[in-house]
Amino acid sequence: MTQHTDIDILLTISSLQERYTQGRLTPVQVIKTIITKLKQRGDDGIWIYTLSEETLIKQAMALTNMSASQRSQLPLWGIPFSVKDCIDVAGIPTSAACPAFAYDATHTNPAVQKLLDAGAILIGKTNLDQFATGLVGIRTGYTAPHNAFSEDHIPGGSSSGAALSVAHGLVAFAIGTDTGGSGRVPAGFNNIVGLKPTRGLLSTRHTVEACRTLDCLSIFSLTATDAQTILKIAQGYDPDSPFSRPANITPASLSSDQTQQAFRFGVPSQREFFGNTDVEACYDKAIKTLTDLGGLCIEIDYEPFLQANNLLFNGPWVAERYASVGAFVEANLDSVFFTTREIILKAKDISASQAFEGIYAMETLKQKIQPLWQEIDCLVVPTTGTVYRIEEIEKEPLGLNSNLGYYTNFVNLLDLSAIAIPNGFQSNGIPTGITFIAPPYSESYLVDLGSSFHQVFNNKLGATAFNLEIAPSLAQK
């Protein structure tokens, strides 16, 4: 096995916990390694705010000095993470990638607080598409980040910094958000896992809202099992959040031995790759891999999902973005990214009757789609049909952004759960991904199936020097 230097510490939860238990590593060593990496990278557009070196080392020292019994009470003891900068952490500014909007948070989002209470170490707040509006990742009032594998390509958004902090091995996991794909698109573009849980499982209180009725917190990690670990710790009913929901439904589960049995996965009959034959070929290969894992591939009519997509940014739900930050945008026009401003302000033209018509249309689509889940166990789609260069997005920001949501926008509108998994690389070296989608409360099923796929088909972890360890039962395939 290749020996890595300290600068190349593998930041997965399982790896860190194993080395901590063996006494081969301490939180102080991990934090010092991360600090060194941050200094080497400089202003790379990933971070909006990082805690001071002194604060981070002090926190790591406090954890290191705990007794064994104290450590055993902290399931995330010494695990570093980041938080998207539209989520509040008390004592740290929240900017939503708009410097003029920044305020000092006085409360911490409940899900993030659970992670801190579990012993995780917050490294800092990450960059995003301003006000979480976009799937490109470069609409920011700060330094724009780029793809982990190419300076010329977009990182995906809106949770660009969160995904990049994981892909580059700067944290073990990141908390982002997902309204129309923000927790999945940057995962696909940067070769990592993005879990979008059922709406309401993770409290969205103390966040800068995009669409309050649809918003989710999302989880980025190098492995699907790490994402599930974080979900189990961070979830919990929040009585002070009107959109919180308890995890009171037993989720479906697909154990490793069941991957040998038939599971039914749907694929869209109406596929769109926007001229990208590499992504199309990767998707075709993914279908074959799932079939080899015991899956039964069933083509489904994708038209109802496309109709739902259209309602997110071309329907009344955009009015929720105005309800959240519209007053600020109108009062500070020059401080808001042009494309973001255009999207949010057009919501002023939406009437109450249009809003109700949108609700009626969505409920009709839900009823139309519901029987499908009796025919398939999950829907498998490309995370995106293509990926764009930064210059392409700058020339056509709205149309190309819309293309990126072809396989993502409908998920929260239809109250579904999803996980984005790496799916290999294009000929230009840029990653692509697939997304597994299922009814609410299906996270365990999605994690197990996604993990099996990840192990068989793609074992590179983000943009790090490490590979995913292959399970012995799957290494034979």
Exposure of 40 by Cβ count < 10 A (0-12 exposed, 13-18 middle, 19+ buried)?
Answer: exposed
Q: Which of 160, 182, 417, 452 is catalytic?
A: 182
Residue 87's nearest CA partner among 56, 67, 116 is: 116
Bridge-based pairing state of the strands 47-50 and 121-126: antiparallel
Rg, Å, the chain Cα set: 21
Which residue out of 84, 114, 125, 196 is catalytically annotated?
A: 84
Q: Which residues pair with 121 in a beta bridge?
A: 80
Helix then strand then coil, in percent of the chain rounded to 5, is 45, 15, 40
Measured on CA atoms in the order 175, 179, 181, 182, is the torsion positive or negative? negative
The DSSP output letter for 147 is B
**Consecutive H or E run containing 165:** helix 160-167
Assess whether 82 carries a catalytic annotation: no
52 is catalytic: no
CA-CA distance, 422 to 417, in Å (whole number)? 17
Label residues 129-156 b or e (16+ Cβ within 10 Å = b): bbbbbbbbbbbbbbebbbbbbbeebbbb
Would you state the structure tokens that stand for residue 11, as one six-digit string?
A: 């930041």
Is residue 69 part of the annotated active site? The answer reads no
Q: What interhelical angle do 224-234 and 13-22 show, nearest 10?
A: 80
What stretches of 349-442 show up as alpha helix (H) in DSSP? 352-369, 390-395, 397-404, 410-413
List 15, 82, 95, 158, catalytic entry: 158
109 and 206 in contact (C-beta within 8 Å)?
yes
* Alpha-carbon dihedral angle through residues 163, 166, 171, 176, given to the nearest 10 degrees: 20
- Cβ contacts of 72 within 8 Å, gap of 6 or more: none
- Catalogue the active-site residues: 84, 158, 182
